[in-house]
Structure 1
Amino acid sequence: MSTRIDDRFAALAAEGRAALVTFVMAGDPDPATSLALVKALPAAGADVIEVGMPFTDPMADGPAIQAAGLRALKAGMTLKKTLKLVADFRAGDDKTPIVLMGYYNPIYVYGVPRFLVDARAAGVDGLIVVDLPPEEDQELCIPARDAGLNFIRLATPTTDDKRLPKVLENTSGFVYYVSLTGITGAALADYAGVSAAVRRIKGHTDLPIAVGFGVKNAENAAEIARNADGVVVGSALVEALKASLGPDNRATDKSVEAVIALVSSIAGGVRGAQRSPAPAKNGGALSWLTRLWA
């Protein structure tokens, strides 16, 4: 049975273009503004929406997303309220895929069985949990799959051909390729290296490959969209939101608009990209990649 994520990537492949995957932090800078922003993203060009689950110790994230999570927590955001945000979004949009992204601790505290039931009921389509390796798939990945949710894995410039099959074993929806080593918001990736990595990963899987980390503008997005099935942008959107805030990190009447303007611009880059021919699946080696992110 296909999910909204499967259907969206299939539809975009038929159109001959990449997906724009946007990340925003749930509850940043407050729950109401966050919901308004998420609701506005599809019309601005977001094809898939990643919603961050605020957490106090986001070890894979850079300063911008760390600060966003802290603003959300200060505003009273919780995992339960994050699921309500998704449910409120779903009341007006039954098509756009929603992926929750974050860390295992809040889910563990919530309780995995309860979380999966509530996530499905809210309208969540997939999960990215960056600190659960494939060796712990029984903890959340397989139960999520059995509940009808995609479990999306990260691969990095250090994931080798020995490790990659384990990474892909229970992955579904798409593969999130982290285009550089480091934290979110770091320097822009090397396009030639990203292109080579995408081609090689595609030698091992039929899943779509979405590339993130380092995408700041329409030009960056267009370069990535030439070869990848999806372009992920997060830190740039979080930074645009931060720049719009007033004293005490309060939302202003420009907050949603600031993020939406950037999304619209980046969406134009994705849609205008000249696509390279898709490589055939051939089982090619990924000898220069040596380990999984998580």
Structure 2
Amino acid sequence: MIFRRVALVSLGVHVVVAIAFMRMLILNGEFPTSERRAAVPQERVGFVRVGQPSTKPTVGRVGGDGRPAQSRAIHVVAPKSIPTTIPAPVPTTAKPTEEGGNGPLVGAGGPVRGIRPSYSDGRLWTPPSGVVAPPKTVAQTIDSLIADAIAPYNDSVAAAAHRRDPTDWTIEKGGYKWGIDRKAIRLGPVSIPTALLAMLPLNLQGNPTTMERDRTFAAMNRDISWHAQQAINEADFMKAVRGIRERKERERAAAQAASSGRDGSGDQNPHN
């Protein structure tokens, strides 16, 4: 009875702990408590009265280069006498006039404002924007997310790699080095020079001509063995066929002899 009661208590405790652990995982370890609840700030909408300027604002003007506006009005002069003929046209070279204006705006002013583009015009000078690319597939999107997540680690590994010798594969433990570097094989207090590695039978390579000849001989040996076995099988088969044929012929001859003997005895009985 006591064991059953202890088992029930233990089961209840485990269930409570499991529920609490699952809730902590779901809520990222933050239990909603009254002390941790932050007060929701009240939103208030107000208006700020802006001070009025003491001087009268400047009226907007045409232009933007600071030059005075020039009038291009054509003055008509009345003739002194009534003409009787059409006068010949006099060629004149009209000087191009610059369209100017005044005011604080930057760029060409006057009547050409909005027609002649300036350096800062949006039709000539646009701010840089994002690169337009086709939409990515699901695999490409996952690859980009993984690359963005791994990029900081790759940068850290690359930065740490510059601070160590790439040929040094040793660690320090107990005041001794263990591993291998460009000078020796470190085995704690014992160091074996790496020059001794040249005396070991490592990285040995055979003669390619001999290897090719051995491969050819091996292929020929396999071919000969296969055909020899095939010939043996064929000889055994033919021997078995001949044995069966001879046995059948002996059985047929014995049957014919027995049949002819019975026929001969039957023919002799009527004469007797």
- Please state which band the TM-score falls in when normalised by the shorter chain: under 0.3
Q: Which has the larger radius of gyration?
A: 2
Higher strand share: 1
Q: How does the TM-score come out when normalised to structure 2?
A: 0.13
